[in-house]
Homo-oligomer: A and B are copies of this chain.
Amino acid sequence: MTRPQVLTTRAALQEALAPARRSGAKVALVPTMGALHAGHASLLREARARAGAGPVVVSVFVNPLQFAPGEDLDRYPRTLEADLEVCAAEGADLVFAPSVAEVYPGGPDPDPVTGMTTVVPGPLAERLEGRTRPTHFRGVLTVVAKLLGLVRPDVAVFGEKDYQQLVLVRRMVLDLCLGVDVVGAPTVREPDGLALSSRNRFLDAEQREAATALPRTLHAAVGEAPYGLRAALDAARAELRASPGVDLDYLEIAGPDLEPLPEDPAAGTPCRVLIAARVGSTRLIDNLPAVLGTPSERSG
C-alpha cells in the first residue's frame, strides 16, 4: 500500500502526469470534494480497474463555485489525511489537492468587469436540485471542465448518488466534445439502506434514524413501479407520510436521462426515482433505478 503522491499546484500535476502522457498510458480521474468514505472507495476501485497500468488521479477540492451563499461551504468536512489513507488503500497514484487560488486564480466569484468564463448546463439543471440550488450545477460543470482540462483523463468516474450531476456531466462531455469516457458507479449504502454521504456525519442519532426514510421511500416506489407511475408515487408518498423528522424537498420519477415522463408511460419504461429532503439542518439526496409497468398488471 503505497501512499499516493500529493500535488497542490497545476505545474506539479502536469509534471506528475508527464510520464503517462509520453507513454500513452490510460489516465483515470475521480473528482471528489474529499471527506472520502466507502462510496468514494468504490469509485476509486472502478477507476483503478479502468486505468489498467496507468495512473489513477483523485482530485480533492471543495469547490466554492458550486455552493450558494448560506449553503454549507464552511462546514463541509475537510479530512485530507484520512482521505490519503483511502486513496492509498485503493491504489490511487496521484492526489490533486489544490488551493482555491490555484483553481481560480482570479477568484471564483464572477466579477462584473473581469468575471470568469463558466460552463452553463441546459435547462435540466433548473429542475430537481436546481429548484433549491439554481447556480449549483453551473459551479459543478465549470470545475469539472477545469479538472478534465488539467488532468485530460481517458476515463472519469462519478457516483450515481449525485445522479443529476452525473447526467449533466455526461451531457457536458457530449456537448463540448470533451472526449472522456464518463463512468457512473452505483451508490454504496449502510446496512439499513442509507446512502453513504459526507454529510451523514452531521446527523445525530435521532436524525440518523429518521434519514432511513429516504431509501425506504425509494424502495416503496421501486416496489410498486411494476403497477405504474401513479402507484409508485402513491406508495412513496405513503411511506413518507409515515416517516417523521423528514422535510421533503422533492420526490420525482423521471427517465434515465432525467427527461420528464409522459403521464402514462408504456410498460417496460426504465426510470429513475429521486428524492431530496432535509433531516434537521442536513440536506440529503438519494435515487434508485426502476422499470415501470402498467396499472392493469396488478389484476394479472
**Which of B105, B111, B176 is the one whose CB lies under 8 Å from A119?**
B176
Number of interface residues of A (CB under 8 A): 39
A88 to B114, CA, bound (A): 40
Confirm or deny: A121 has a beta carbon within 8 angstroms of a beta carbon on chain B.
Answer: yes
* Per-residue B-contact encoding for A162-183, CB less than 8 Å = 1, 0 else: 0000001001101111110000
A141 to B119, CA, bound (A): 10
Chain B contacts of A171 at CB under 8 A? 116-117
User: Looking at the complex, which of A144-152, A191-199, A274-282, A287-295 is the stretch in contact with chain B?
Assistant: A144-152
CB distance from A252 to the nearest CB of B (A): 14
* Per-residue B-contact encoding for A186-226, CB less than 8 Å = 1, 0 else: 00000000000000000000000000000000000000000
A172 to B142, CA, bound (A): 11
Confirm or deny: A269 has a beta carbon within 8 angstroms of a beta carbon on chain B.
Answer: no
* Per-residue B-contact encoding for A117-154, CB less than 8 Å = 1, 0 else: 11111111000000000000000011001110110100
CB distance from A94 to the nearest CB of B (A): 16
Q: When the two chains form their complex, are residues B122 and A150 in contact, meaning their CB atoms are under 8 A apart?
A: no
Confirm or deny: A69 has a beta carbon within 8 angstroms of a beta carbon on chain B.
Answer: no
A175 to B168, CA, bound (A): 20
Q: When the two chains form their complex, are residues A120 and B122 in contact, meaning their CB atoms are under 8 A apart?
A: no
Q: Which of A82-126 touch B at CB < 8 Å?
A: 105-106, 110-124
Chain B contacts of A178 at CB under 8 A? 149
Q: Which of A8-28 touch B at CB < 8 Å?
A: 10, 22, 24
Confirm or deny: A259 has a beta carbon within 8 angstroms of a beta carbon on chain B.
Answer: yes
Please name the residue on chain B nearest to A115 by beta carbon: B122
Please name the residue on chain B nearest to A178 by beta carbon: B149
Q: Contacts A110-B123, A123-B112; is A117 near B175 (CB within 8 Å)?
A: yes
Q: Contacts A146-B177, A150-B177, A177-B146; is A119 near B122 (CB within 8 Å)?
A: no
Confirm or deny: A244 has a beta carbon within 8 angstroms of a beta carbon on chain B.
Answer: no
Confirm or deny: A260 has a beta carbon within 8 angstroms of a beta carbon on chain B.
Answer: yes
**Which of B106, B110, B121 is the one whose CB lies under 8 Å from A117?**
B121
Chain B contacts of A146 at CB under 8 A? 175-177
A124 to B112, CA, bound (A): 8
Q: Which of A111, A120, A124, A260 has the most CB of B within 10 A?
A: A120
Q: When the two chains form their complex, are residues A117 and B122 in contact, meaning their CB atoms are under 8 A apart?
A: yes
A112 to B123, CA, bound (A): 6
Chain B contacts of A168 at CB under 8 A? 117
Please name the residue on chain B nearest to A146 by beta carbon: B177
A24 to B115, CA, bound (A): 35
A152 to B105, CA, bound (A): 24
Q: When the two chains form their complex, are residues B259 and A116 in contact, meaning their CB atoms are under 8 A apart?
A: no
Q: Contacts A117-B120, A117-B121, A117-B141; is A152 near B175 (CB within 8 Å)?
A: no
Closest 6 CB pairs of A and B: A149-B177, A115-B122, A117-B175, A117-B172, A116-B175, A120-B120
